[in-house]
Structure formats: C-alpha cells, structure tokens
Structure 1
C-alpha cells in the first residue's frame, strides 16, 4: 500500500497523460500485487459506476475514486457462488418507511469472499445483491456499501470483514471476505442506470429516465441482463495483463537460453536446440497475437460504452462470448508458457532470485479469477453454436447483420468451406491466409460435430449430453478465440486490411518479423488441435508435414528471438532476475545475489542444538 500511496502522490504532479500511463505500466510490471490494488479500484470499482450508475452517480463518485478519496472493491463472488451469479444470496431489502435498503448476508454461503482490497483497505464496495421489494425478488442489482471509516479504518456498523490470509501468490493484495448484518444504505446507493426503486417502493425496470432518450429505448428484460456485464472489462484486461507478466518470463528464459551452452566446449547455445525453440518460440508468437488483439477488443468495448445504451446492448452478446473465450484460452496458454519457461531454464528457474517461481505463484489466480475457465468456455461455445446455426440457415442475411470486427464474422465463409465436404488443402505453408482458413474451417467443423452430437441426445437428456461433450465444447471455444487472435496478428503483419477498430499495422520494416510470428502462431495452434484435424479429414501425411513446417517456423523466429524480447523494453530493475541481465553478465550477478542472501555463510543457528549432538556428541573421542 505504501507503493500505491506514493504512486498516487507522484501522479498528481504529472501534466502529461502519456507519461502518467507509462509510469503506471512500469509500476504494474514491477509488482503484480500493486497492479491488482490499482486495478480493483481504478478499473473494477470505477467501471461499476460507468456501467450501472446514472450520470448523477457517475459525476458524484468517479472523480472521488480516481483521486483515491474513496477506495473501492467489487463484491460479487460468494463462498457458495462464484461463477454461478444466479445463485447469489446476499440481499438488499427496500424499507419504504425509511426509504433505504437493508443489506444482509443471510447464510454462511452468502459470505462475499476473495474480494480484492476488502481484507484491510477498501472504504466502500460495489456489492451485487438480490433486490427484495415488497416481498418480491426483483433480480440482481448493484449497491454502494460503506465498509470502513475513511479516517480510522474501522469497520462500519453491521459490517464484518477480514483478510483471507496466506495465498499462493499476490500476497501484497488484501483479498478479503465480507458479511453484512442489517447494514442500511440510502436509496441512492442503488446503482440505478438500468433499474430503480421509487421512494414509495415501486420497482421500475429499464433505463433510468435520466439516461433515456428516443434513440435509447431499452426493454426491461434487456436491462436486467446487464447485471452480468460487470466482468467483461475484467476479462478483456487479460489482453494487457497476461503479456505484461508473460513477456517478463519470456525475456528471462530467452536471454538465459541464448547465453547458456550445455556440455563440452563449442556446443551450441541452448536456444539453438529444437526442443527449446519448440517451447519458447511459439510462446512469443502467442503473446504477440494477444497484444495485437488488445487494441481491437478495447476499441470495440469503448465504442460500446460511449455509444449509449443501445450500442452497449447490441454489442454485448458477441463481446461477452469473446471476452469469455479470451479469458479462458489465454490464461490456460499462459499457465503452460510459464511452466515452459521454468523448464527451459533447468534448476536455475527454481530459485526465487530468477523470478519465474514467483510469476508462477502470482499467476495461479488468473485461470479462476473473473470466472472459472471451465464455465467460460461453455458460454462462448453456446454463443458460437447459436451463431453458426443462423449462418447455416441464411448465410447472406447473417453476413449483413455482423460487423467485420465481430468475433463470428468469419462464420459464413467458413461454413461454405465446410459445406464442400473435404478439408481445405494447404498448397503454400507460408500463406497466412491458407493457414487461417484451415483454422476457421476446423472451428466450424467442431461446431457442426458438437451440434450433431447434442441433437442426438434423448428427450430430457440435453443437460447430460452437454456435460458429456465438455472436451468438444472447450475445443470450440478455444478454436473460435484463436481464429480471432489470428486475424489480429495477421493485421499487425500487414497481411489483412484493418478496420477503424483494429490494432495498428506494424511499420513496414517490422512486418516480415510479424509475418514469421503469425505463421508460427497459426501452425502452433493447428498442431495443438492435430487430433481434431485428423478426425475431420486431414490426411496423416499432411499432419506430419505440419510438424515439419512448425519446426521450420520455430527456427525462423529463433533468429529474431533476442531482438523480440529486448523490444519489450524491460529493464533489469523490473525483471529482477540476475540471470537475465541485459549486459549478459548473468552468472556473476546470480552468484553474487546468492552470496548476499541472509545466512549464506557461517554455521546455522541450529548447529549447536541440532547438528553438533549428531556429529560431535559429548564423550565421543575424536579420531
């Protein structure tokens, strides 16, 4: 928290917005715990008001939050209900006599838990609760609830909260638990953009009149669905947060592998071994694909936010499915990449002095926070399945209703390709367009196979059939996400024409490098799903050629590996890994770090009590 306080003070002196953003990036790269403290208040808490608050509520709260006069948290998950928001038990009961809400935790399982900043710091929370009015359940809504006195830090009456204690990582973030006992909050504590309660207790669903205009006629049913939109921006943050951590790990591992020579003198650098290239080079390509997609997803999301309620509601289904797919696919990939980095460095990565071990500890939450991946892939797959059915029913109509940047824009052409009945051939393994077409075709082939499998389920057996098909459901979601990321890196490489919402094309001098990265990314993803390629008609010799092309693509990216990681611009004071020193003198720095560690030299404190009685017991003669 001392880091955060100092950062807030320093930022107040900045007049240059770009300098402020770069300063925050550097601090977030330096500390995962710091980045999460910043994210919880300036992203999650602020976005609660921007998504669910009226204009008046936004004007009142957002400036105070960004000035850190109010420190917030985001109380969604409960002890018994994490990804299952429909099971939320916390209640907000409207008391018409006092014109306020009573917030309660009705059971043990309704305890809010794993809430960042709630353990020790947050003065307020945006709390998701079930609204009860005149005995009727009016659905889930957001309420601003004071947690602590801003001067003393003591909990407010009726609030019981504490820290969750020791964790696998990010121990600088005070994740907490919260229970409410008849906590009263005023009527305007309900974030009321999409629904409101009148003073007399009348519940009104739909857009608040304060935000309404003829162009924004939002139905009550559509407005109710927005309670679930709060996690979309958190999931989109994956496109920025994952590369921020993984690029550090890749810099450390690649620099180590470039400087290490194993075996007799004259042996090549470890980075020249195909096994190490196969571990690290595709990881570089995957991170560049994610970074290329970041601009598109955030530009689209901001356009939805700024375009008014109808724009938000219209884009929500595709963005929800895409954000869920990105969150699951990219965080699963990230966990694998970190382990590859650790293995590529041998025993030295097991040392906490070389950072990788701490990255792995800090990373663990990413596959679960913001929605469990096993649940999210189902949400993505359901959407893609529904959209594929629409595309197959009327391709022209479907194509006319989707934007080029929608994640499902590829479906009409891919469905047409699948209708030919034979797998698409690859005549040129360097063609990004051909490889991308295969990936899109495979995504549709998996969707169609999943649809046929579900259609054959016996009456009343759909739930069992859906659960039994989870492996295919996961594959559909991941393939759909990968084809979207592939489009982004092809645009970055100058191989596709961008739209106004896409990330920028790389400068001409860098485009050949991005072409190499894009090719490796596509080959790596296809190789990951080689079993599915065989199941859907690819010949064995074509899959074997895929392996040959993959090895060639790894070798081509290896030639650019050091410039690629150096281009991340990560100084030694951020990496904090002596073996990855920019000047190449890693071993000297590593040994010096070990020697300067506490208790490196001299007998340990326990020697006389525990060792000496074994090695030199009293009365034993010395030989």
Structure 2
C-alpha cells in the first residue's frame, strides 16, 4: 500500500540520513578498487585456468541458452520443495540431453550447460556410471542391445552397488544371482535386510534399469561380485516389476535433486544374457569362465578414473566457495577504527586474511592437481592399451590418497569460507550452505576417506621397505615429515605384529592412526610439488606479472603446509622452536603479499555469476541489493499477511488491545 510522506517529516530526517549515507561505503566501488590494485591481468589467468578463450565464450553462450527455460532461472531454486527440485532438475537434464542428441547443440555445449546449471538430478549415474559400465564391461552384442536406447533415454539406468550393510568392502556384498541351468536364468535375491541396495542416485523414482553388483553363484560355487543389467520397472507404467521393491530413501543433508534409492529383490528371474560378459562369462551349462588377469586389472582401473575425476572437481568447488567469500569480505565493512573513520574491510582483518587467503592458495593447488591426475590417468590408459599395467599400483595409491586429501580439504574449506562471511554466509542465498551440503558427500563416497588413506599407506610402507633394502628412499615424495612418518608407521606396524610387517588383521587395524598420518603428509607433499611444477610450466604461457602472482600464492601454500606440519617437523628434528615461530611469521608476510591480488585471483578462476548463483559472490560487489531482491522471492512473501494468518495468527490476535 503506497502512502505520501509530508515535507516536514522528510526535512526532519534528511540531515541525519544524508550524514549516514556520506559515511556509508559503496560495495560496488570497493569491488572496482580491489581490481584496480591487482598486479596482473585476471582475464589472462582466467583464460589459462579455463583452458582457452573458447571455453569462456562457450560458458557465456551456455548461460544464454539456459536462461531461455523456466528451470534456468536460478533465483527460484533456493525456495523449491524437494519434489519440485527433483522434477525440475530432471526436466533440465533431459532437455539438455535431448538437445545434444538432436544435434541442436554440440556435446561440448551440452557439458557447458550442465556445468553452468549445476543441478544434479536423476540422470547423474545414468550418464556417469550406467553408460560407461556398458561400454567398459558389455560385449559387442550387449552394447548393441542397450547402448542405443540408453543414449536416446528410452531406458534410464543407475549403478546399484552399495548396500545397507556394505559399501567400501565390495567382496562383502550380500545380494546374490544364482544360476538355474534348467531355465538358463539367474535368480536374483536379497537374502538379508542388510543386502538392501541403498544410495544409488536415480534409483528412487527415475531408473528403469540398474547395473546390479551381485555375487554370481553357479553349481553351488560363489564366483564373487559381478555386474548384471536388470530391469526394475515396467516400461509402460514406470511401476516396480513383480519381485522388485524400490523407492526413494528420503531427504539428505544435501543433493536433494537426486532421488537416491533403495532396492530389494524377491527371487527375480533374469536371463543369463544379463551378465555383462566382456571379461567373465557363464556358459549355458553353468561353467564359469573367469576373466584374464590383465582384464581383471582393467576393470579395477575404472576406480582410478573415478578418483581422478573427484580430485579434479575438488579444486572447482573450493574455488567457488573461496571466490564467494573473498569477494564478499572485500566489500563487507565492519567496525570503524576511530571516530569519523571508515569501517574496515573484513578482508583486511588479520584473522580473516590468515584463514581465507591460504584457502585461496589451496584452491589453486587442487585445481592444478586435478589437471595432473587426469594427465597421469591418460598416460596410464595409453599404456594399458598396450597391455602395460605396471603403473597401476602407484597410480592407485596416488589416486586413493589424493581423493581423500582433496575432498577433506574442500569439504573443510567450504565451511571455513562460509564462516568468514558471518551471518550472511548462513543464508541459502549466499550459495555457501548448498555448496557445502552438495559437496561434502565426496568425503564418504567411492570409499570413506580413512579407507582411502589406508590404501595409500599400504603402498607407501611397502615402498619404504623396498627403498631401505636398496639403500635409497623412494618414492621421492617421502621427504622430511612424510619420511619421518613413514619410518614411524612402519616401526609401529612391525612392533604390533611381533617384528613382522603385516598388512591386514589386528596389527594393521591397530596402527591405523599412524598410517593415516603418513598418507596425509605424503598427499600434502604431492599436492604442493605439483603446484610448484604447474606454476613453472605456466610461466611459459603467462605474462611475468601473472606468473609472479601465482608464485607468491604457491609459496603461501607451501609455508601453510609447513606450519600445519610443524609438530611432525619438530618431532623429527627437522626444525626447532625458533624456526617454527619463523614459519608463522613467513606465512603472515606472504598473506600480506597476496592480499592486493586476492579478488583478481578469484577472477582468475573464470567463474560466471550465473554459475556461482550467490548474492554474496557477485562480481560487481552489489551484495546488499542482491540479498534484498533474492529474499523478496521467498514464497512466504507471496501475500502481505503471510501463509499462517488465516489458519493460526488471526484467531490468536483477534482480541488484541493494541
């Protein structure tokens, strides 16, 4: 309801209002000033980090296309119900997929649209696991039967491995596929409560088929876990088939656009041809033909690819969080140092700088590590095609430790970045809570991180013993703190086993803490070494000023790691207490050196505002206007009186004397 304010009322307030406006900082002007003080060209760095100007241009084009669809309007997303989030997210995924299949956009444009939209939905495992599994493990005939309808979305799949009672320990899975030679069929059954499949994305309400991981049993012998293609829903009505119980597992901490599901089987019969038989197969009479050892390794190597992808994404997600927090703390002002003085930028407080800018360095380190991991995987893949699997043990250990280290750093880093934003960081409109709850699952999927660290530690201890026998230390990353922890872990493990080195059972389980410390130190050193190498490699393509900014950031990352490892370094005798103090002083100096380039370095990631979808992370700094506009979109504001007025408040306030 509009009203008119009389001149006398305005005149009474205006002098005070004018004084307050004069003293109030303009966040947009602060954002401009931050970029003007940068020592390098942020756009040059963005082009390099994104992989070329064409990628940046493709992202802009993708955003333009997305905005043509109702579900492309991100302003409404924080207010969606879970059902709306699922339906609209799935509609978006299907639309983009169909556009690519119909030739309206290229596959690269489709990938750009999916990334900029950033809306995980029911097709995630269809695209990420179901189709790749058909390609990796299906015979030519199976691929001809299932790939075309999968690519046309005439069947939708997911990957059903994890059960209520087992996840990382695949050999412990309880779902069985028992072969009936009389009918040439498998009988699939869930014999226990804990054999219920639990967590597969898209299983709840989307998938028509699953890649089922189950124990193959023929002629009374258990041949271990194999993969089967199993239809679970009627294609005409989308209802569960007889013998199948399937549904959604309910709301989660985040990632709620994805319908993670549960699945049970009650003596469901499937044809023998459902077994993905590129490597292992079952003859008509029930004879089991195992895969050649090389092919078994090829199957195992798929996990390495998944972990390399997780490492790659870690830098991207931490980069988004740090971008939002750095941009916001650079324009947010808090507490004037004296009468008449301007309030200080939050980013200029020592405690905020000391927390946030090392995270900025870590985000760059993770981004470069992701590139390197994929480079190493591609090199291994080329060698694998020649039958050379010699690099697999070390690559497996590397990917295991780095998967854990990178997802730990990103999960913790997103939450730390959120806290630097104060109260506004708690709002979903900042995008930081959603970023955290959507990402933190990475610390437990594809193997709990402590399990991943232990896989790396097993390789490292064995490598240490081999190196000691040869009179040298290998791998070379076992230096300083990591070398000390490796020797210490090996000694503790040997003592627990009565002088032997035992990599299983009680001695191994009883020394997990020392082994995990070793894997963490080793992973941190690998991360920093790669950062150093990546910056020097970039020096040949970037201007000197940009390279200097990256080198300073890299130095900050290295010193931060040393400060964090000071206890181990002191224990090992590599530094003394005076040097530990000097390390902290060096970290503070490097933080001060990075500070003028902080906002420009966030620009260097090349993120569009549409991707970040954050009122606090706007590139132009206009954060308060963005917050107010976004808040007005809340469904609670659809009516002036609010949704509880007629049902709750009206009767309660009816007798008010006010």
TM-score by length of 2: 0.79
From 72, 77, 81, the counterpart of 2:166: 81
Matches of residues 219-368 of structure 1 in structure 2 within 5 Å? 219=293, 223-224=295-296, 228-264=300-336, 265-308=341-384, 311=387, 313-368=389-444
Q: Of the candidates 484, 487, 497, which is equivalent to residue 445 of structure 1?
A: 484
> Are the counterparts in 2 of residues 155 and 161 from structure 1 also a CA contact under 8 Å?
yes
2:22 aligns with none
Q: 1:451 to 1:125 in 2, by over 3 A?
A: same
**Residue of structure 2 equivalent to 1:474:** 516
Distance 1:119 1:365, change over 3 A: same
1:411 aligns with 2:474: yes
5+ unaligned residues in a row in structure 2: which ranges?
A: 1-89
How far, CA to CA, are the matches of 2:628 and 2:318 in structure 1? Answer: 25
- 2:572 is aligned with 1:536: yes
Distance 1:24 1:87 in 2: 36
Matched residue, 1:576: 613
Return the alpha-carbon distance in structure 2 between the equivalents of residues 96 and 599 of structure 1. 62
Q: Residue 118 of structure 1: which of 177, 185, 203 is its match? A: 203
- Deviation, structure 1 residue 528: 1.9
Which residue of structure 2 lines up, in the alignment, with residue 142 of structure 1?
227
The separation in 2 between residues aligned to 1:360 and 1:166, in whole angstroms, is: 16
CA deviation after TM superposition for structure 1 residue 225, in Å = 6.0
Change over 3 Å in CA distance of 1:557–1:446 after alignment to 2: same
The answer as to whether partners of 2:528 and 2:558 remain within 8 angstroms in 1 is: yes
**C-alpha distance in 2 between matches for 1:534 and 1:184:** 63
Moved more, 333-342 or 44-53: 44-53
**Is contact 1:44-1:234 (8 Å) kept?**
no
Q: Secondary structure at the residue paired with 1:79? A: coil
The 2-side partners of 1:609 and 1:93 are apart by 57
Decide which moves more: 181-190 or 1-10.
181-190
Relative to structure 1, the CA distance from residue 298 to residue 533 in structure 2 (aligned partners, 3 Å threshold; closer, same or farther) is same
Which of 521, 530, 533 is residue 488 of structure 1 equivalent to? 530
Shift in Å, 1:91:
1.0
CA distance, structure 1, for counterparts of residue 524 and residue 485 of structure 2: 14
CA positional deviation for 1:280: 1.5
Deviation track 1:83-131 (CA, whole Å, cap 9, x = no partner) reads 1112111111122222232222111111110011111111221111111
Q: Which has the larger radius of gyration?
A: 2
Unaligned runs of 5+ in 1: 208-218, 397-409, 416-439, 496-502
Comparing 142-151 and 441-450, the one that deviates more: 142-151
- The verdict on how the C-alpha distance between 1:411 and 1:612 changes in structure 2, with shifts beyond 3 A counting, is same
* TM-superposed deviation, 1:339: 1.4
Matched, 1:507 2:542: yes
- For residues 63 and 305 of structure 1, what CA distance do their matches in structure 2 show? 25
Question: Which residue among 253, 257, 267 is the counterpart of 1:172?
Answer: 257
SS of aligned partner of 2:199: strand
Count of residues in correspondence between the two structures = 559
Deviation string 1:61-89 (CA, Å, 9 cap, x unpaired) is: 44543443332211111110011112111
Shift of 1:593: 2.3
Separation in 2 of the partners of 1:94 and 1:159? 18
Structure 1 residue 349 displacement after superposition: 0.7
Structure 1 CA distance, aligned partners of 2:646 and 2:260? 41
| Structure 2 equivalent of residue 546 of structure 1 | 583
Tell me if the contact between 1:491 and 1:505 (Cα under 8 Å) persists in the aligned partners: no
- Residue 276 of structure 2: SS of its match in structure 1? coil
Using a 3 Å threshold, how does the CA distance of structure 1 residues 524 and 50 change in structure 2: closer, same or farther? farther
What is the CA-CA distance between 1:165 and the residue it aligns to?
1.0
- CA distance in structure 1 between the aligned counterparts of 2:289 and 2:334, rounded to whole angstroms: 71
- In the alignment, the residues of structure 1 paired with residue 203 and residue 476 of structure 2 have an alpha-carbon distance, to the nearest angstrom, of 48
Cα separation, partners in 2 of 1:315 and 1:140, compared to 1, 3 Å? farther
2:154 is matched with: 69
Residues 9-68 of structure 1 deviation map (CA, whole Å, 9 limit, x = unaligned) = 222355875xx335424433433424xx45412222233234433455445544543443
Query: Compared with structure 1, are the counterparts of its residues 51 and 25 closer, same or farther at alpha carbon in structure 2 (3 Å cutoff)?
Result: same
CA distance in 2, matches of 1:305, 1:193: 18
- Could you tell me the TM-score, scaled by structure 1's length? 0.83
Most deviating of 362-371 and 310-319: 310-319
Q: Is the 8 A contact 1:492 1:506 kept in 2?
A: no
- Name the counterpart of 2:459: 383
